[in-house]
Amino acid sequence: MTTGPVRMTQRGHDKLKEQLEFLKTTRREQISEYMGKAIEDGDLRESAAYDEARMQQSENEARIAELELQLERAQIMREDEIDTGAVGVGARVVVEDAGGKARTLEIVGSFEVDVLKGKISDASPMGQALMGKRAGETATWPGPKGDVKLKVVSVDYD
């Protein structure tokens, strides 16, 4: 994980805060109950249930620490800072490939990425190439089989 600011949308920031709250309250409680039941069952040296609860607890605490760090370093992209005519974090971008096939992408912070939903990171090679582009301009970046080009058809912010 990088040590610089974590750029994100307000929606992404709110989602992180909700996830953190869930992990600190509901999930901790669930793990605690699971651990309590495992302890009641007896010998902890050979308790798979207790080992599983400890592993879940460790993973949960690691995720909490990660989210807290991301929120601490969050740089929320404010609407008044955004050039709504250019691609930036929070933009929905319609792009067209060399074959004329169009698709819609959303530029998000790195933790919000969901490629299957068309959410790409501003730090990815494609995201970096698209940043600052306007409708009609072409973004180019190196791909495994040569340069990849996408024409920006439109840029929209919610």
Q: Which residues contact 88 (CB under 8 A, 6 or more apart)?
A: 77, 82, 107, 122, 131, 132
> Which of 2, 5, 3, 12 lies closest to 113, judged by CA?
12
In terms of DSSP bridges, do strands 146-157 and 102-108 run parallel, antiparallel, or are they unpaired?
unpaired
* 59 shares a domain with 95: no
* 90 shares a domain with 113: yes
- What pTM value is reported for the model? 0.63
* pLDDT by 10s per residue, the chain, length 158: 456 787 777 878 888 999 999 999 999 999 999 888 888 877 666 778 888 889 999 999 999 998 999 899 888 876 666 667 889 888 899 999 989 999 999 998 877 888 999 999 988 999 999 999 999 999 999 988 899 999 999 998 76
- CATH for 113: 3.10.50.30
Q: Which two tokens stand for residue 135?
A: 């409708």
For residue 84, tell me if it sits in a domain: yes
Q: How many CA atoms lie within 13 A of 28 on its CB side?
A: 11
Q: How many CA atoms lie within 13 A of 14 on its CB side?
A: 4
What's the confidence (pLDDT) of residue 133? Answer: 94
For residue 86, tell me if it sits in a domain: yes
> Which of 123, 152, 155 lies closest to 140, judged by CA?
152
Angle between helices 10-22 and 48-72 (to 10 degrees): 150
Q: Which two tokens stand for residue 16?
A: 């992180």
> Structurally, how many domains does the chain consist of?
2
Beta strands in 21-82 (DSSP E): 74-76
Residues of the domain holding 116: 79-157
